[in-house]
Every structure is written in structure tokens, then in C-alpha cells.
Amino acid sequence: MIELQVKTSSRNQMVDITGKVQNNIPDGCSGIVYVYVPHTTAAVTINEGADPSVKNDILNYLQELIPHNAGYTHLEGNSDAHIKSSFIGNSVCLLVENGELILGTWQAVFFCEFDGPRNRKVYLKIIER
């Protein structure tokens, strides 16, 4: 298992980790890489990485849908982060062929922070065929 470090700088943020994931794929490897976020207030997703307005639209819509202070009962004040994390999800599975991630032309892998800024972990598990 491989552990990646992700440092976030704001409460809600999407960080492109595609390069970090790709850099940990061995040359010639074919199979899958499982990307897992072990935090209850963060997530991981695949979406468009070419136009930054897409991740801004996602974050803005999530903020509108699940506002920070909406009278939640959880005492830590981060219920919105827990809900956003559950909506997005804590893992993705990616195909790997000859040492390269198989992604669509515009796709990128994003670590999604919903309770930052923080230092976070992302785990990779590479399963070769």
C-alpha cells in the first residue's frame, strides 16, 4: 500500500492528485489502482481537470445544497463536511495499462476537502494482473 500526503489550504477545496497517483504506478504495470481516502470529512472523485470552473461549480453547488451552518446536531460543527463526503464517496478504482492511468481526455483525480485546511492522507493499492 502507498500513502500519499495532501495539504489543503481552505475549508472546501478540490485538489488534483492525478500526478501523485500516476507517479506511484510502476513502469509496465497493468491492472487497477484503488484510491482510498481514510477521512470522514474528505472524499475522492474523478471529474474534468482541464477547466477549473468545473471544480468551482461542484464546490459552489455542494455549498448551496449542504450549507456549513444549517442547524445540524453534530457538536463538532462539521456536519456539512460529513454529508458532502458521503455524497462524493471515499474511493475510486482506476484502470492502469502499461504503467499509465486510463482516464478520459479531460478527466483528473481529485481529493475533495470539506473540513480544511488540513494535512490529509490518501492510500493507493495497486493490483496487477
User: Which pLDDT does position 105 carry in this prediction?
Assistant: 96
pTM of the predicted structure, to 2 decimals:
0.96
What is the full DSSP assignment across 97-115? ETTEE---TTEEEEEEESS
Series of mean pLDDT values for 10-residue runs along the chain (129 residues):
98 98 98 98 97 97 95 93 98 98 98 98 97
Length of the chain in residues, anyone? 129
User: Which pLDDT does position 129 carry in this prediction?
Assistant: 87
User: Which pLDDT does position 58 carry in this prediction?
Assistant: 98
Q: How many C-beta atoms lie closer than 10 Å to residue 103's C-beta? A: 16
Choose which CATH entry (2.40.10.10, 3.40.640.10, 3.40.50.1980, 2.60.120.460) describes domain 2-128.
Answer: 2.60.120.460
